[in-house]
Amino acid sequence: MTPQEVVKFAQENGALMVDFKFMDFIGIWQHFSVPISEFDEDVFEDGLGFDGSSIRGWQPIHASDMIILPDCTTAVMDPFTAIPTLSLICNIFDPITKEGYSRDPRNIAKKAEAYLKASGIGDTAYFGPEAEFFIFDDVRYDSSANQSFYAVDSSEGAWNTGREEFPNLGYKPRHKEGYFPVSPTDSQNDLRTEMVMELQNVGIRIECQHHEVATGGQAEIDMRFASLLDMADQLQWFKYVIKNVALRNGKTVTFMPKPLYGDNGSGMHTHVSIWKEGTNLFAGDKYGGLSQMALWYIGGIIKHAKALCALTNPTTNSYKRLVPGFEAPVNMCYSSRNRSAALRIPMFSTNPKSKRVEFRTPDPSCNGYLAFAAILMAGIDGIENKIDPGKPLDKDIYGLTPEELVGIPSAPGSLEEALQALKDDHEFLLKGDVFTSDVIDKWLEYKTEAEVNAIRMRPTPMEFELYYDI
């Protein structure tokens, strides 16, 4: 849509408010709204001012003024507001330089797309993330100087087979058996379908929905692939819609990678391909039907995997999922069909258009704009430097001996380790000014001070169970 078409669209849909959404540095959508009387075409040229010092990881208070500039191509009606509201996703600009703000995640994603085109390698990178999540009935948590706890609950939880529900009808998925029985064991089919309907209403193409492996309401809804920036936008709508549909049904949703002990965590397997002039450059006659370019791309991902995890798996909780010896994809190798490899070549179709690489390590706690941009930049580095990914591994990795695993790089064991890897290996992200040194430094600083140190200094309930009577 053009600015004129957006104004007309708002009028035709009876919008009384306009909501401006933008992404903070860490990965949470922010917003503010204005009455439709204050909205016209000029806003797409002039933007609106706001206080950047109040956004995590952004401006200091002595240089707080920032500008949001809405993207007219993102206009939709918000499905959750009581008053008809037009929603626009915005870019962030510096009011002095009039340039895109370096710490704006959406700006970083745009620069990654521009770098791909400037490199001559391709003109479009397609991304298809599979963001898993949990639907709970209740969540409680607290942490203070003398106590700490969390508790989540679900009517589907295997731990509730003995609960007095008057009557308790059973049909609760056992641990690791949620993939995917029909109702009544799957009690959330209608809720997930309602989520699908709302996602489609905001323009997101959905391929399927289903219960996932874990007990307690683990779910997956798959979006059709899209270009990098579009998919990062869609991922934010995805989280927004799913959480709000759950809320209006008296449920709560989390995209935490590991909210339950002893069962599967939530990943975000991310499918990637690079195209040029309508041709899939990842299709070829090499291993798994891939091209040489795709193999080099895999080489780049493997080389930079530890640093990538600081952006694709950016929480301390991420590493409760990425534990060697379990089902999480921690071993950085590639294979066709083999789901125990961190990089998989799906073999569902022989159509060259469907050929892609699936990076299985990321999780849905990430900021999609930063994660997708980083994955693309690592792959481009592999292509530009013709990085050999080594031989494929078509064995069950979980069945390999320690001797056989020697030489296979693995994901970091903690966020702290991932951040150190990013500190040591980020030159590939700086190409084309996609990421800047300031962005990397701020990410390392924020994640260390606000998350790593916060967790490192606090005792946990499990430590009391293990050590109190020492």
Give the number of residues written for the chain. Answer: 470
Q: Of 263, 360, 426, 451, which is the active-site residue?
A: 360
51 noted as active-site residue: yes
Give the model's confidence band at 223: pLDDT under 50 very low, under 70 low, under 90 confident, else very high: very high
Instruction: Say if CB 329 and CB 360 are below 8 A apart.
Output: yes
pTM of the complete model: 0.96
**For the segment 336-351, what is each residue's pLDDT rounded down to a tens digit?**
866 678 999 988 777 8
- What is the sign of the dihedral through the CA atoms of 38, 39, 42 and 43? positive
Q: Which DSSP category does 145 fall into?
A: S
What would the two tokens of residue 112 be?
Answer: 């990654």
416 noted as active-site residue: no
277 noted as active-site residue: no
**Mean pLDDT score across all residues of the chain:** 94
Q: Of 71, 78, 104, 132, which is the active-site residue?
A: 132
Distance in angstroms (rounded) separating the CA atoms of residues 6 and 150: 45
**For the segment 109-155, what is each residue's pLDDT rounded down to a tens digit?**
999 999 999 999 999 999 999 999 999 999 999 999 999 999 999 99
Distance in angstroms (rounded) separating the CA atoms of residues 121 and 401: 39
Q: Of 94, 175, 339, 384, which is the active-site residue?
A: 339
Q: Of 71, 130, 222, 233, which is the active-site residue?
A: 130
> 54: helix, coil or strand?
helix
Give the model's confidence band at 94: pLDDT under 50 very low, under 70 low, under 90 confident, else very high: confident
**For the segment 7-55, what is each residue's pLDDT rounded down to a tens digit?**
999 999 999 999 999 999 999 999 999 999 999 999 999 999 988 888 8
205 noted as active-site residue: no
463 noted as active-site residue: no
Q: Of 38, 40, 46, 51, which is the active-site residue?
A: 51
Give the model's confidence band at 162: pLDDT under 50 very low, under 70 low, under 90 confident, else very high: very high
212 noted as active-site residue: yes
> 408: helix, coil or strand?
coil
Consecutive H or E run containing 66 = strand 65-70
**For the segment 368-408, what is each residue's pLDDT rounded down to a tens digit?**
999 999 999 999 999 999 999 999 988 777 677 777 777 78
Packing angle of the helix pair 305-312, 415-424 (nearest 10 deg) = 120
Q: In degrees to the nearest 10, what's the CA dihedral of 109, 129, 380, 296? A: 180
Radius of gyration of the chain (CA): 23
Instruction: Compute the half-sphere exposure of residue 5: CA atoms within 13 Å on the CB side of its CA.
Output: 8
**For the segment 229-264, what is each residue's pLDDT rounded down to a tens digit?**
999 999 999 999 999 999 999 999 999 999 999 999
Strand bridging mode 85-93 / 343-345: unpaired
